[in-house]
């Protein structure tokens, strides 16, 4: 059960797919302009958030990005691309520095 909560291992293909999804979404939203085209922007945001969560795993940074996309004017910035690159960098940093094992004299309590 706990393994389902862990983000997937970042492979080159997962990173490539996540970055492609983010760039394409930002490009489409930029090309649509401030009009938003009757809910298309919001639909794109929902789909992108779901695809990113499936591809590189859910990260709390996706939530503010999702909300910012609903603010007129700010949605013109490449927020999905920036967020995706930030999540990838944070995940790589976490993998590079795994948590230290407990000290031999320290008691570990499993709950």
Domain borders along the chain are: 13-92
Q: How far apart are the C-alpha atoms of 87 and 105, rounded to whole Å?
A: 35
Mean pLDDT of the chain: 83
Q: Do the Cβ atoms of 26 and 76 come closer than 8 Å? A: no
Taking phi over 0 as left and psi of -120 to 50 as alpha, with beta for the rest, 99 belongs to beta
Per-residue confidence band for 58, with pLDDT thresholds at 50, 70 and 90: very high
Please tell me the pTM assigned to this model: 0.77
* Long-range contacts of residues 63-69, Cβ cutoff 8 Å, at least 24 apart: 69/29, 69/41, 69/42, 69/45
Q: How far apart are the C-alpha atoms of 7 and 51, rounded to whole Å?
A: 13
């Amino acid at each position: 059960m706990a393994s389902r909560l862990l983000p997937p291992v970042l492979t080159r293909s997962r990173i490539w797919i996540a970055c492609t999804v983010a760039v394409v979404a930002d490009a489409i939203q930029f090309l649509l302009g401030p009009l938003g085209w009757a809910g298309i922007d919001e639909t794109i945001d929902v789909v992108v958030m779901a695809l990113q969560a499936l591809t590189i795993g859910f990260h709390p940074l996706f939530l503010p990005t999702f909300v910012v996309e609903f603010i007129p004017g700010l949605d013109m910035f490449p927020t999905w691309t920036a967020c995706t690159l930030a999540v990838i960098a944070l995940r790589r940093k976490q993998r590079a520095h795994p948590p230290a094992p407990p000290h031999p004299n320290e008691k570990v309590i499993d709950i």
